[in-house]
Amino acid sequence: MELRITLKPYCLPFRQTMLTAHGPWVEREGVLVRLEDESGRVGYGEAAPVRGFGGGTLAEVTARLGALGDRARSETLVEVAAEGGGVGFALGAALMAFGNAEAGLDFTPKHDYLPVAGLLPAGRGVLAAIEPKLELGFRTFKWKVGVGDPQDERGILDDLLSRLPTGCKLRLDANGAWDRRRAEAWLECCAERPMIEFVEQPVATGDDRGRDLMLGLAEDYPTVLALDEAVTDLRDLQRWADNGWRGVFVVKPALAGDPAALMAGLAERPWDVVFSTALETAIGARTVLTMAFAASGKGRALGTGVWPLFNGHVLNGPTAMPFVRWFDVAALNSEAAWNAAS
Ligand code: MG
């Protein structure tokens, strides 16, 4: 089957500037892919790399997609998708519209709805933010730590926990900011606070020492730990599992290559995965959420409570609410998002 390829680079200002370890992030850049067969059937995909994460840079994914030209055999695109990263995600997602027969994969949703974690602001501002989120119905929350003084943050933590009704869960995300001593002090504190669902990336794991520290902390303390920055794709998950990791993996499918390959890999073991957004448009969001709904797994709340990110309703994934319904995923209109992006 020959497919016509159209690319659309986009640059969309965020409604609110994102604060990241690399400084303020004001606009989302990426490339949309549109594939069309002779009968007029169309598939959409999105490559949306994130600085500081794996999966290729914007320049790399733009060059790789551009090199495909304006027509290619679907077999060729399947091969390129297998190269992984943002290119793999974009092409693999667009190819899903033409069937996944070769992969033998089923993207039928296994859930009517999935819970979503509510994002809380770092620092003392969390105490003002929690009440409205509880009123909306959120019961799983994520709070960024490792930003201020640890003693202060642990004081705020107890204030926060005292406001959460029974049954709530709190994720702490340190983004690798702690050293061993800090991580140990925090994990001792967490050990007595069972509302803490897990601690995400307590220490940086960019080298062997960091990896061994992470594995050691997971052994020594009862609180579940999660890897985020440490893992991009299935190979990373497999490497950590082979090293003895039994904790959670935060997976951003948009950076993790061909959706079909990732889903096939996830089906092989009882991975403990949290599906998370990489701040895509509606086109990428539709793929990410389709994967989350098709996966079995432990039903942990999704890390997708970020939209609306952009001006223009059709460009956004489902608005951040305590649950995302399959109905809302199926209603995402890729064609409208394609037309609105620029
Ligand atoms: Mg994280």
CB 143 within 8 A of CB 169: no
Q: What is the 3-state secondary structure (H, E, C) of the chain?
A: CEEEEEEEEEEEEEEEEEEECCEEEEEEEEEEEEEECCCCCEEEEEECCCCCCCCCCHHHHHHHHHCCCCEEEHHHHHHHHCCCHHHHHHHHHHHHHHCCHHHCCCCCCCCCEEEECEEECCHHHHHHHHHHHHHHCCCEEEEECCCCCHHHHHHHHHHHHHHCCCCCEEEEECCCEECHHHHHHHHHHHHCCCCEEEEECCECCCCHHHHHHHHHHHHHCCCCEEECCCCCCHHHHHHHHHCCCCCEEEECHHHCCCHHHHHHHHCCCCCCEEEECCCCCHHHHHHHHHHHHHCCCCCCCEECCCCCCECCHHHCCCCCCCEEEHHHHHCCCHHHHHHHCC
CB 64 within 8 A of CB 80: yes
**200 Cα–ligand 1 center, Å:** 6
**173 Cα–ligand 1 center, Å:** 6
The pLDDT score that the predictor gives to residue 107 is 87
CB 36 within 8 A of CB 68: no
**198 Cα–ligand 1 center, Å:** 11
Rounded Cα distance, 295 and 256, in Å: 15
The pLDDT score that the predictor gives to residue 64 is 97
The pLDDT score that the predictor gives to residue 297 is 77
Active site residue 133: no
The pLDDT score that the predictor gives to residue 104 is 58
Rounded Cα distance, 35 and 70, in Å: 9
**269 Cα–ligand 1 center, Å:** 23
Written as one letter, the residue type at 300 is: R
Rounded Cα distance, 339 and 44, in Å: 12
Which of 133, 142, 144, 169 is catalytic? The answer is 144
The pLDDT score that the predictor gives to residue 179 is 97
The pLDDT score that the predictor gives to residue 299 is 81
Residue ranges of the chain whose pLDDT lies below 50: none
| Phi, then psi, of 202 in degrees rounded to 5 | -60, -35
Active site residue 298: no
Written as one letter, the residue type at 144 is: K
The pLDDT score that the predictor gives to residue 102 is 52
**230 Cα–ligand 1 center, Å:** 10
The pLDDT score that the predictor gives to residue 21 is 72
Which of 133, 142, 169, 252 is catalytic? The answer is 252
**20 Cα–ligand 1 center, Å:** 11
CB 259 within 8 A of CB 253: yes
Rounded Cα distance, 188 and 193, in Å: 9
Residues, CB within 5 angstroms of ligand 1 (ion): 173, 200, 228
Q: How buried is 56 (Cβ within 10 angstroms: 0-12 exposed, 13-18 middle, 19+ buried)? A: buried
